[in-house]
Amino acid sequence: MYSCKQATELMSLSLDGKLSLYQRVALKMHLFMCKLCSRCWKQMLFVRDASHQCSERAGEIDFMPEHSLSPEACERIKNALKEESPP
Amino acid sequence: MEKNHTLDPEAWVDQHGDALFRYALFRIQDGQVAEDLVQETFLAAIRGKESFAGRSSVKTWLFGILKHKIIDHIRKISRERPEENIEAVADLAGKDFDDKGGWKYQPSEWTTNPSLLFQQQEFWQILQTCLSELPPRLNQAFTLRELDGLSAEEVRKILDVSPTNGGVMLHRARMRLRECLEIRWFAEEA
């Protein structure tokens, strides 16, 4: 019988597809009986799904909105591009 | 509109430089490195612009290049600073559980509608905050796995850690993020 701590380790491994058949069955039984681990499992799935959404929407989400490329960096990058570009 | 600019790299910098820089900063948390990665992204784009078939937007294409640059950077610093991997595995052990492996801090019930939540800029700000509060190696393990979509095996090779330590790092990251969202978003919401 797994402890709750071990069960959370199995949850994480299962998200990476690394559980044996025995571990899968044991985790399922633990989740069936343990309300707190069952919550934790749903929340781990939520964290994963939110992260996938974050990746898919990378172009739309305002990451670090208070930061910008400095004018100096812009200039430097443009100069590097000019040097790289064929005339 | 965007098509007119596909062959004008200087316009790319004006149009997409900030967004790329912010994403790089979010992932790497070092302004100087983020600037360098953006520059490398634009240079790679200019060298490969013949291969840009216009199937996606310029922005999506540039983000794709930047993500590869970020992965290469993480691979490089993992080899240079292996001691941080040991710290990541040793850090925060067993914080949530008592000696017998039972819950010490009980997860609360989250009531939410993900499709509404994902429309809110505030939620993404909180997720960014939670990711940035992870120890760097845990952040990298998690973002490589769940944002870049690499397999756990690929992640552990990039971070240069054993399969066991790679699994431990992903577990720690997931538990910390769960806890952080609970405190910063769901408890505030309730």
Contact state of A3 with B101 under an 8 Å Cβ cutoff? yes
Task: Tally Cβ neighbours within 10 Å of residue A74.
Answer: 19
Query: Where is the domain boundary, B35, B52, B79?
Result: B79
B108 with B28, same domain: the answer is no
Shared-domain flag, residues B87 and B69:
no
pLDDT digits (tens, 9 = 90+) for B72-99: 999 999 988 766 666 666 655 567 888 8
Same domain membership, residue B65 and residue B93: no
Which residue range(s) make up the domain with B117?
82-189
Structure tokens of A21? 């058949």
Residues of B in contact with A9 (CB under 8 A): 167, 171
Domain count, chain B: 2
The total number of structural domains in chain A stands at 1
More confident residue, A65 or B139: B139
The confidence score (pLDDT) of residue B1 equals 41
Based on the domain organization, do B144 and B116 belong to the same domain? Answer: yes
The answer on B131 and B87 residing in a single domain is yes
Is the CB of A59 less than 8 angstroms away from the CB of B60? Answer: yes
**Position A81 in a domain:** no
Residue of B38, B62, B161, B177 to mutate, interface with A, max A Cβ within 10 Å: B177
Domain that holds residue A38: 1-55
Same domain, yes or no: B89 and B104: yes
Q: What is the mean pLDDT of chain A?
A: 91
Q: Does B175 touch chain A (CB under 8 A)?
A: yes
Band (B190; pLDDT cuts 50, 70, 90)? low
CA B149 → CA A56, B11, B19, distances in Å? 11, 30, 21
Specify if A66 maps to a domain: no
Chain A contact for B152, CB < 8 A? yes
Mark whether B15 and B67 lie in a shared domain.
yes
- Whether A3 maps to a domain, the answer reads yes
Same domain, B75 and B61: yes
pLDDT at B9: 77
Q: What is the mean pLDDT of residues A66-72?
A: 91
CB contact under 8 A, B174 and A64: no
For residue B113, count CB atoms less than 10 angstroms from its CB and return exposed for 0-12, middle for 13-18, buried for 19 or more.
Answer: exposed
End-to-end CA distance of chain A: 70
What is the share, in percent, of chain B residues with pLDDT greater than 70? 87
Residue at A7 is within a domain: yes
Give the B window 75-114 contacts with A, CB below 8 Å. Answer: 94, 96-97, 100-103, 106-110, 112, 114
Instruction: Report how many Cβ contacts below 8 Å link chain A to chain B.
Output: 162
Examine the domain organization and report whether B62 and B141 are in the same domain.
no
User: Is it the case that residue B4 has pLDDT exceeding 50?
Assistant: no
Checking phi first, is residue B2 left (phi over 0); if not, alpha (psi -120 to 50) or beta? alpha
**Within-domain flag for A11:** yes
Among the partner residues A16, A18, A77, nearest to B38 by beta-carbon distance: A77
Among residues B37, B59, B79, the one where a domain terminates is B79
Whether the predicted pLDDT of B128 surpasses 90:
yes
Residues near B94 by beta carbon (within 8 Å), at least 6 away in sequence: A5
Q: Do A8 and B43 touch (CB under 8 A)?
A: no
Which pLDDT tens digit goes with each residue over B24-41? 999 999 999 999 999 999
Looking at residue B112, its pLDDT comes to: 77
Residue A39 lies in a domain: yes
pLDDT number for residue B3: 45
Last residue in a domain, options B60, B79, B98: B79
Residue B35 maps to which CATH number? 1.10.1740.10
Q: Is A17 exposed, middle or buried (0-12, 13-18, 19+ CB in 10 A)?
A: exposed
- Which pLDDT tens digit goes with each residue over A71-85? 999 999 999 988 887
Domain CATH number, residue B141: 1.10.10.10
Q: Is residue A77 part of a domain?
A: no
CB nearest B102 (choices: A4, A51, A62): A4
Residue A5 lies in a domain: yes
**B128 and B102 co-located in one domain:** yes
Q: Are residues B62 and B50 in the same domain?
A: yes
What confidence score (pLDDT) does residue A50 get?
A: 95
pLDDT in tens, B153-164: 999 999 999 999
Choose from B97, B124, B142 for mutation: most chain A CBs within 10 A: B124
Chosen from A1, A9, A16 to mutate, greatest number of chain B CBs within 10 A: A16
Could you tell me which residue, B88 or B65, shows the higher pLDDT? B65
How confident is the model at residue B92, as a pLDDT?
57
